Structure 1
Amino acid sequence: MIVDILARFRFPVCSAWHGRSSLSIRDRGDDQRNDRWKPILLIIASIACGRSGWSGEVLLLPLAMIFPLLWAMAPSRTTAAVAAAGYFLAASRGLPQGVANFYAADLWPGLALWVMASASFVIVHAVLWRPHGGNASGRKGGDAARALRYLLAMALTGLPPFGITGWAHPLTAAGVLFPGWGWWGLGATAILLVVMTGRRWQIAAAALGGLYVWSATNWTPPKLAPGWISVDLKQGAKLGRDGSLQYHRDLIATVRKAAEPGKDVRVAVLPESALGYWTPTVARVWQEALRGSDLTLIAGGAVVEPRGYDNVIVAISADAAKVLYRERMPVPGSMWQPWLQWIGQDGGARADFFANPVVEVDGFKVAPLICYEQLILWPVLQSMLHSPEMIVAVGNGWWTGNTSIVAIQKASSVAWARLFDLSIVMAFNT
Structure 2
Amino acid sequence: MKTRTLRPDKVNVITLGCSKNLVDSENLITQLQANDYEVGHDSNDPANIVIVNTCGFIDLAKEESVNTILDYADRKSRGEIDRLYVTGCLSQRYKDNLEEEIPEVDDFFGTMELPGLLARLEADYRHDLIGERFITTPEHYAYLKISEGCNRTCSFCAIPLMRGEHVSRPLEELVRQAEHFARTGVKELMLIAQELTYYGLDLYKKRMLPELLEALAAVEGIEWIRLHYAYPSKFPREVFEVMAAQPKVCNYLDIPLQHGSDAVLQRMRRQVTRQDTTDLIRYAREVVPGIAIRTTFLVGYPGETEEEFEELCDFVREMRFERLGVFQYSHEEDTRAYDVEDDIPAEVKAERAERLMDIQREISYELNQQRIGEVMQVLIDRKDGDHYVGRSQYDSPDVDNEVHLPADEAYLRTGDMVTTRVISATEYDLIAERVVE
TM-score (norm 1): 0.31
Instruction: Flag the structure with higher strand content.
Output: 2
TM-score (norm 2): 0.30
Instruction: Flag the structure with higher helix content.
Output: 1
Structure with max Cα Rg? 1
Of structures 1 and 2, the one scoring higher in RCO (CA 8 A, sep 6+) is: 1
